[in-house]
Chain A
Amino acid sequence: MKEFNKTRPRVPWVPLLSTAQIFTAAYWSKQQTSDHHNIKHKPVGGNNTNFRLLPALLTAGLLHVYGSLSAQQISINTQNASIRQVLQQLEKQSGYSFFYKDVDMEKIRTNKIILKNTSLKEALKAILEPNGLDYEIVNKTIVIKSIPKKATSSNNNNRTDQITITGRIVDETGLPVIGATIRLKSDPRKAIQSMSNGNFSLPLSADGQQALVSMLGFEDSEFTAKKTSTGLLIKLKRTERIVDEVIVTGMMERKKESFTGATASFTGEELKMVNNQNIVASLRALDPSFIQIENNSIGSNPNALPTIELRGQTSIATSSLRDEFSSDPNQPLFILDGFESDLRTIMSLDMNIIKSATILKDAASTAIYGSRASNGVVVIETIKPVAGKVRLSYTSDLNLEFPDLSSYNMMNAAEKLEFERLSGRYTAISNNFEQQIALDNIYNIRLQNVLRGVDTYWLDKPIQTAYSQRHSLSARGGEGAVVFDLGGNYRTTKGAMIGSGREDWGANINLNYRTGKLNIANRAFASGYTGNESPYGSFSLWVNTNPYYEFKSADEKYLARTESNSPGAFLSIANPLYNASLSSYNRTKNYTISNNLQLTYSISPALRITAGAQISKSTTNSNTFASPLDTQFDEVTNDLKGKLTYRGAESFSYTANAMLTYAKVFQKLHSLTANLRGEINENNSRSNGYIAVGFPSASNGNPSFAFGYQTGSKPSVATRIARRNSIVASVNYSYDQRYNADFNYNIDGSTSFGSNNLYSPYYSIGLSWNAHKEKFLKNNTWINNLRIRGNIGITGNQSFGNVSQSIFDYDRNVNRFGQGIFLSALGAPDLEWQRTRQTSIGVDGTFFKNKLNIQFNAFDKYTDPLVVAVTLPASTGLSNYPFNAGTLDVKGVETIVNYSPIYRPKDQFVLTFGLTGAITKQRYDNFNDKLNALNEEMQTSQSLVRFKDGYSPRDLWAARSLGIDPATGQEVFLSKDGQQTFNYNTNDIVVVGSSQPLAEGTLRGTLGYKGFTASVIIRYKLKSDYLNSALYNKVENISINNVENNQDKRALYERWKNPGDIAQFKAIAITGSTPISSRFVQDENTFSGESINLGYEFRGKHWLDKAKLSNLRLSAYMNDIFYTSTVKRERGIDYPFTRSISLSLNATLK
């Protein structure tokens, strides 16, 4: 037996298929053992796959195809070989494993065996029968034993009981563990799997032996195999995180232990513990490097997309470098199930089908994405089909949103009228007597309203408490070769503005088919949405409406109107409620169908080939219709009333890739994994649109009712074909699981690089050291895990359009000579594309029996050359033009610390406090050299002043202000040379702050007790400077036109009125524009309640059985529940922010 007892080291990678799937493919079932004589019998599920037990299971997924027992061709020719040698040969030729007791073997005489092309069945018969031995097939392991006495052999049922040791594997909570591997310590090659109910049975021959149970995500456990009447019960302890062990890079899975990159992985459950609405909000709360830039304009609009950055910026975002179809050049790349996806899809993805999300942050983890990698990569995997009984699962998410108007500080009717009077609204511009009378008249009408007590609060008129819900249903299961997952979800979201909202739906069919060495996985999905913007329009319209107008029902077209034909007094103020009540709409509809196919073929245990393909088609239509009755068409002839703006976009894309993977362990110590991968991708986009005008009053916006196209307009069409190909080589070497090295090399070709340089190389090198595996630390009790890693590499950014050549466009107009073209973009033929050198070091550690968990990363992203599309002076005729100048350096540290003062997973009692934080500094450099080469005008040009060595893209530039002169009410500026001046001069603009916070992150507390979970996440943002646009736009800088809009109270109370006033803001009577100065830049410290979650999982309750439920889970959430900031400002200009409360119910049917 000893010769068989070699432990083969684990091959250090796990293939693309999830381990759970593979394990379930084979198990040692009672059923099979009972008809062991019928060796033609196919294993359960008709699966031809045979696991060469131990090595196969451990390499997990390197599938070996062996012929059926009877078809197998065996040739043996031995003289005086020992039975072991014979069996070894058999093993080699058939791929079957043998399981036997040495005692039995001693009986064997093998004088001369000559077999030629016989089936395995016959070969075994020929070898064993003469020696008084029999065999049985246990999940295609051949168990050799003595021929039992005839009396018992006739009774199959009895014998089954006798020859197996049964048991059950459960987790800490008592739930069955499916697919755990049980193997004998004496011969680790002999192994079986636990079944869907956690049960397993070992052959009797294992009696008394030590067995080892292992399962991904659980700690290993040992037990002694012995027959008991009730069966053994083995409890497995869960390790910290399930997906911790492998890093899903979207192209290949890597073992975390030997990986050198900085990544963060979260399971679907972890993500759903933060919120039940979208994954972006969850990732933002869980990882400090994933930052959502707050957009004060869009607020909580469910149809708006957030701006996302991962580890700072790599580009100076400008629209000139982008075409209609490209995305934000600072946005990370999203990979959904192995293929590139867009932010919209990720935002509307059903949280319940997400298996895991992995953030790849640095060069070692992202270099395989080459030209798309500079902003980091977010890899999202959806739940894969799992074999077993079909399980039906249902989740319902309910959500209530309450608009948060607390940040608004608007004037009341009397204040507003007084403000208007003081700002000179009622003083005739032309000193014209006739006009003055008219203005006095208007003032008196408004004053009467105020005196009458009219004071309408318009802000709460367009908003509602919004109720949203989502229902997801899925069925998963299947046995044997085919496993499936069917799912569907529907979500209807209402927004805080009345009438705004969206509907999302999605359906998917996942099928996995496995036969022998080949595994085929196909995922087909269809999804779509309908997004509606509120007919109430922008929230700012309601904020701007004056409180001295009486609230009128939707039947009234005007709030105020003087019909008199005397030109001086004519006035008409539309009733916003009237316009909102019309049949106007703004609707976007989308349908997407995609199919992902993945083939995996194992050529040999060490070599595997994977191929994948995706085709995807999507259609998006948006229609914006303004009713002909809308007051904006009051002065327009009938044939121009009403307006429909249509835009349709279609995109079709395909991606195909193939990957060759080689993985082998040499001499137990050296493990090598190499991947070679090629990919091509084409994305075809096309959009068209038109504007139709002239609708009948009762029209619903159907363009067939339109009178014609808008005067002078023409159909707008844009098309783009973007192609990309790449070859990636990736090598990982690990010495004794202690010292690891990664190397990636990538050549990317892309249509966006321009015809002069189609290809661009990218690469990375990384090292890591698993300190806890060293002998001197192995016996240390307080270090559970300690890993140090570092890497460096070059990545790129291709979120730019092709700008190498000058582009001409047809003018939309014609004249008597016909059409004409004009220069729409000046080519930049010498432009070099951005390359970012990323350096990253980090430490992962787990200490004190898993109580303390620390991840720390430091990074440096150095972009050189930088593509600078500076906003040039308008006289160049180029709004902005890209050229290479300078570098951008982003340095930062980020940390995730979790400490569990109570860590008793056995009692299901864990209390954890967590802190995430990131400090990022961005800095321009090497501009001076480049700029010295340019002419003097260029250097002094204001547009480039901001690109100077040592400054950051997040710096705020403004003239320094010394405040308001008490004598005149004018602003006093500090010039560059320290002089006081009233004159604003753009040369005096300096850096007055930075919008980059000193630190940003979250504080977290989670408690798990039995089935109960609770978590609180609070976001903090420390020491940033904020240009307060509310102060700038609603307190000062109120133009004569905007005086008619309602304003912040501070515009009345805190502005200068009379000589001698010490005021923060300039004279109330000045309606001319105010330049941005340091007065409007404020220090910001913010705390916000990002998420509070409570959940309870019902287990082992009798009523669950009665209701045919195996599991029921309830969760409640409160998101964005509070917000405190040192800056007093309006939040949500066009759409208010909301606080939300949600409920989630998840039930799995038995």
Chain B
Amino acid sequence: MKQLKKILIPFFVCAYALTGCNKWLDVKPEDKFIEDEVFQTPQGFIDGLNGIYLKLGADNLYGSELTLQVPDLLAQYYYMSSTHDLGIQALTNFNYDEAGPKNRISAIWTNLYVNITNINKFLENIETYGSVLDEQSKAIMSGEAHALRAYLYFDLVRMFAPAYTVAPEAATIPYYEHTGYESAPYSTTKEVISNVLDDLQLAEQLLQTSDPALTMTKVDQTTGTIDYGKKPYLQARNYHLNYYAVKGLQARVLLYADRKIEALAAAETIIQNKSKFPWVQSTDISDPSTVNRIYSTEVLFAFENRNLYGIYNNLYNPALADNTILTAGTSPSFLNAIFDNWPNDYRYSLNWQVAGGKSYNVFLKYQDLSNTSAPNYRYTIAGLRLSEIFLIAAECETDPNKSLAYLNEIRTHRNCQVLAEYADATLDIMKEYRREFYGEGQLWYYYKRTNTASILSATSNAQKTITTTQYTFPLPLVETEPR
């Protein structure tokens, strides 16, 4: 037995050494970050905030799908040949039941909610670990995050719920303020809008005291080098949901909820500060190598997608085959119709040219610049621009003269003749929407908000009728029947 002891004791010692060492088992992953480590420094929050913007600017959301593609296909902006992808044709024909549209709608729903979860988690982390941030940073980050959440919920409601004016009380989408596996109840459009406005109000309060945009003379830094420094979120504020963008979003939401007076008030806040977002000048667009086709100076809030020119190559590049390219048609008749036969309109003359071997006009708005070093507005897709604020003001203003002035201010800066008077105020405003938002995904929501019964189609160059139900995407199966 002595012998046994001699062996057992070292054996147990060894065994203890092996198992007793908890440190040995506590392995931190190298290729990812664990929450309680990430948010120990302000850098974690900087990366977290930028991560939200990066995700939103990706191809599957505002980097392409929700700006260049789905809403604009629905708004009949693009010409469909009979051999275009049948899934895309089905989408332009509002056949949401077909596999192609179904998958796209389902992906939009999922991606928007994934980002909402990401934002909710970011807000929770500000709560938990926010003490590492200074007051200004904390206010900006919290404010922007609330505003971003509002932005996404508002778009969800615009896509998946009937228009507010049609059915404000319909239970539509689930609303989450926290992360977790418990699914939320379906809220009515009214409730969601109310939550969205609350978020925006909170964002407004937080940004009012902290946003450097308030003291900038011009928010867009079109050219020159920018030192982003240790707090990059204090620079290039038009690529963040800044104070003015929050106000603009308020105006957009309030108009959707048919609260025109409040919408006008919000719009006027921006209009008073319009010098911070100056209208595009002829000098901005005269040099072909740096032509500012997206009028970046006017953009209140923009998304950035570094893959934008890859997307351009897949959608609009004239080298694409006739059954793939997205254009306004094989003849200029549709463009002439929406630009009222006025080819000098900047939006026509700059962005629609016969080029690249195609016999018809191709869409150049998102073509890369030949001079890639000078301008700071490459990769940019507008999320909210000054012209929409003016259009909102024009629509909400009850005084027709004031209203017309708002509209004419846009027209002037688009190289169009001013209107002496409204022929039909609603129609004139709609036409301006149609000219202004090619490739930005806003026209569809205008049609939906106003419950327009027929849309001018690029495919047939004729009015295409649309029913109220076709304005609402069906809830995807990933929500109702997850597998």
Q: Which residues of A contact B (CB under 8 A)?
A: 428-430, 432, 435-436, 438-439, 442, 565-572, 603-604, 607, 609, 634-637, 640, 658, 660, 662, 676, 678, 680, 711-712, 717-723, 725-727, 747, 749-751, 755, 758-759, 802, 805-811, 813-824, 826-827, 870-878, 881, 883, 934-935, 937-938, 941-943, 986, 989, 1039-1044, 1071-1073
A1110 CB to closest chain B CB (Å) equals 45
In this assembly, does B482 line the interface, its C-beta being within 8 Å of a C-beta of chain A?
A: yes
Q: Which residues of B contact A (CB under 8 A)?
A: 3-4, 7-8, 11, 14-15, 18-19, 22, 24-27, 29-36, 38, 44, 46-55, 57-58, 79-83, 85-87, 89-90, 92-93, 95, 97-100, 102, 106, 109-110, 113-118, 120-122, 173-174, 176, 179-185, 226, 228, 232-233, 235-236, 239, 304-307, 309-310, 313, 317, 319-324, 330, 359, 376, 379, 457, 459-460, 464, 476-483
| From A635, A636, A877, contact of B117 by CB (8 A) | A877
Q: What is the chain B residue whose CB lies nearest that of A989?
A: B481
Also in contact, A751 and B25, with CB within 8 A (given A435-B81, A570-B83, A808-B48): yes
Given contacts A806-B34, A808-B48, whether A678 and B19 have CB atoms under 8 Å apart is yes
Contact status A827-B35, CB under 8 Å: yes
Bound Cα distance A818, B310 (Å):
20
Contact B322–A565 (Cβ < 8 Å): yes
A-B contacts, 6 listed (Cβ < 8 Å): A429-B93, A567-B83, A875-B113, A875-B174, A878-B179, A1040-B95
Docked Cα-Cα span, A609 to B92, in Å, equals 76
CB contact between A805 and one of B34, B236, B476 (< 8 Å): that residue: B34
The distance in angstroms between the C-alpha atoms of A1071 and B97, with both chains bound, is 9
Interface centre among A758, A808, A881, A1044 (most CB of B within 10 A): A808
- The list of the 10 closest CB pairs from A to B, nearest first, reads A877-B117, A820-B51, A820-B50, A1039-B99, A1072-B97, A567-B81, A435-B82, A871-B482, A806-B35, A874-B478
A676 and B82 contact, CB distance less than 8 A: no
Q: Is the CB of A808 within 8 A of B27?
A: no
Min Cβ gap A728→B in Å is 10
Known pairs A603-B3, A712-B307, A821-B48; A1072 contacts B95 (CB<8 A)? yes
B174 to chain A: which residues have CB within 8 Å? 873, 875
B481 touches A986 (CB 8 A): yes
- The answer to whether A874 and B479 have CB atoms under 8 Å apart is yes
Closest to B378 in A: A816
- Closest residue of A by beta carbon distance from B90: A1040
Whether A719 lies near B183 (C-beta < 8 A) is no
- A residues near B93, Cβ cutoff 8 Å: 429-430
Residue of B nearest to A687 (CB): B31
Query: A660's closest neighbor in chain B, by CB?
Result: B11
Instruction: Report whether A1071 and B98 are in contact in the complex, using a CB–CB cutoff of 8 Å.
Output: yes
Please give the distance in Å from B121's CB to the nearest CB on chain A.
Answer: 5
Pairwise interchain contact B99-A1041, C-beta atoms closer than 8 A? yes
- The answer to whether residues A815 and B53 also contact, given A430-B80, A758-B26 and a CB cut-off of 8 A, is yes
The answer to whether B47 and A821 touch across the interface, beta carbons within 8 angstroms, is yes
B428 shortest CB reach to chain A, Å: 28
CB of B368, distance to nearest CB on chain A (Å): 11
Q: What is the CB-to-nearest-CB distance from A114 to chain B, in angstroms, rounded to a whole number?
A: 29
Please tell me if the beta carbons of B183 and A807 are within 8 angstroms of each other in the complex: no
Distance, CA A283 to CA B482, complexed state (A): 36
Q: B481, A822: Cβ atoms under 8 Å?
A: no
A806 CB contacts on chain B under 8 angstroms: 34-35, 121
Closest residue of A by beta carbon distance from B97 = A1072
Cα(A1044)–Cα(B86), bound, Å: 10
Q: Which residues of B contact A658 (CB under 8 A)?
A: 11, 14
Q: Known: A429-B93, A814-B306, A938-B183. Contact between A719 and B30, CB under 8 A?
A: yes
Complex: A805 Cα to B478 Cα, angstroms? 25
Nearest residue (CB) in B for A872 is B181
Q: Which residue of chain A lies nearest to B35 when distances are taken between CB atoms in the complex?
A: A806
- Find out whether the CB atom of B50 lies under 8 angstroms from the CB atom of A808: no
Q: Which residues of B contact A875 (CB under 8 A)?
A: 109, 113, 173-174, 176, 183-184, 479
* Contacts A758-B26, A876-B180, A1041-B87 given; does A822 touch B81 at CB 8 Å: no
CB distance from A1067 to the nearest CB of B (A): 14
In the complex the two chains form, what is the Cα distance from A849 to B154 in whole Å? Answer: 81
The listed residue (A660, A815, A1042) touching B54 by CB distance below 8 A is A815
Residue of A nearest to B483 (CB): A871
User: Which residues in B have their C-beta under 8 angstroms from that of A718?
Assistant: 31
| Smallest CB gap from B330: residue in A | A567
- List A contacts of B460 (CB < 8 A): 430, 432
* Known contacts A603-B3, A817-B236, A877-B114, A1073 near B97 by CB under 8 Å: yes
CA–CA, A721 to B233, complex, Å? 36
CB-nearest residue of chain B to A723: B25
**Contact (Cβ within 8 A) B181 A876:** yes
Q: How far is the CA of A1039 from the CA of B48 in the complex (A)?
A: 40
Whether B15 lies near A727 (C-beta < 8 A) is yes
Min C-beta distance of B324 to chain A, whole Å? 6
B83 touches A821 (CB 8 A): no
CB-CB < 8 A to B25: which residues of A? 723, 725, 749-751, 758
Q: Tell me the complex Cα distance, A815–B58, Å.
A: 11
Task: Please determine whether B32 and A809 come into contact, CB atoms closer than 8 angstroms.
Answer: yes
Assuming the A-B contacts A747-B19, A815-B53, A1040-B86, are A937 and B183 also in contact, with contact meaning beta carbons closer than 8 angstroms in the complex? yes
- Alpha-carbon distance A455/B397, docked complex (angstroms): 68
> Given B7, B86, B97, which contacts A1041 in the complex, CB threshold below 8 Å?
B86
With A439-B82, A815-B53 already in contact, the answer to whether A567 and B323 are too (CB < 8 A) is: yes
Find chain A residues with CB under 8 A from B122 CB.
Answer: 823
A570:B15 contact, CB within 8 angstroms: no
Question: Which residue, A749, A826, A878, A1040, has most C-beta atoms of chain B within 10 A?
Answer: A1040
B113 touching A815 by the CB < 8 A rule? no
Q: Which residues of B lie under 8 Å from residue A935 when comparing CB positions?
A: 182
Q: Which of B3, B24, B47, B117 contacts A878 (CB 8 A)?
A: B117
Shortest CB-to-CB span from B149 to chain A, Å, is 12
20 other contacts beyond A660-B11, A808-B48, A1041-B86, with CB at 8 A cut-off? A429-B82, A569-B82, A635-B321, A637-B313, A678-B19, A814-B306, A815-B57, A815-B304, A815-B379, A816-B304, A821-B38, A821-B48, A823-B179, A826-B179, A873-B479, A874-B479, A877-B114, A937-B184, A938-B182, A942-B482
Contact A872 B183 (CB under 8 A): yes
Q: Which residues of A contact B481 (CB under 8 A)?
A: 942, 986, 989
Whether A660 pairs with B8 at a CB distance below 8 angstroms is: yes
Contact between chains at A821 and B51 (CB < 8 Å): yes
With A660-B8, A823-B118 as known contacts, state yes or no: A727 contacts B306, CB within 8 Å: no
Chain B residues, Cβ within 8 Å of A820: 47-55
Contact B19 A873 (CB under 8 A): no
Partner of A438, one of B47, B82, B106, B182: B82
CB-nearest residue of chain B to A878:
B181
Q: A624 vs B34: C-alpha distance in the bound complex, in angstroms?
A: 33
Determine which of B4, B83, B97, B99 lies in contact with A571 in the assembled complex, contact meaning CB atoms within 8 Å: B83
Contact between chains at B7 and A607 (CB < 8 Å): yes
A802 to B35, CA, bound (A): 13
Query: Which residues on the B side are within 8 Å of A436 (C-beta)?
Result: 82
A755 touches B321 (CB 8 A): no
Whether the Cβ atoms of A755 and B3 lie closer than 8 Å is: no
> In whole Å, how far is B16's beta carbon from the nearest beta carbon of chain A?
9
Contact B31 A570 (CB under 8 A): no
- Please name the residue on chain B nearest to A718 by beta carbon: B31
Instruction: Give Cα A429 to B26, complex, Å.
Output: 60
For A871, the closest partner residue in chain B by CB is B482
Bound CA span A676–B19, Å: 14
B126 to chain A, nearest CB (A): 14
Q: Quick one: which of B18, B109, B305 contacts A678, CB cutoff 8 A?
A: B18
Bound CA span A877–B112, Å: 8
Question: In the bound complex, do residue A818 and residue B232 qualify as a contact, i.e. CB atoms below 8 Å apart?
Answer: yes
Instruction: Say whether, besides A822-B118, A937-B182, A874 and B482 are in contact (CB < 8 Å).
Output: yes
A821 and B33: CB pair below 8 A?
yes
Partner of A823 from the list B117, B321, B376 (CB cut-off 8 Å) is B117
**Bound CA–CA A566/B322 (angstroms):** 8
Q: Check if A1040 sits within 8 Å of B87, measured CB to CB.
A: yes
Q: How far is the CB of A486 from chain B (nearest CB, A)?
A: 34
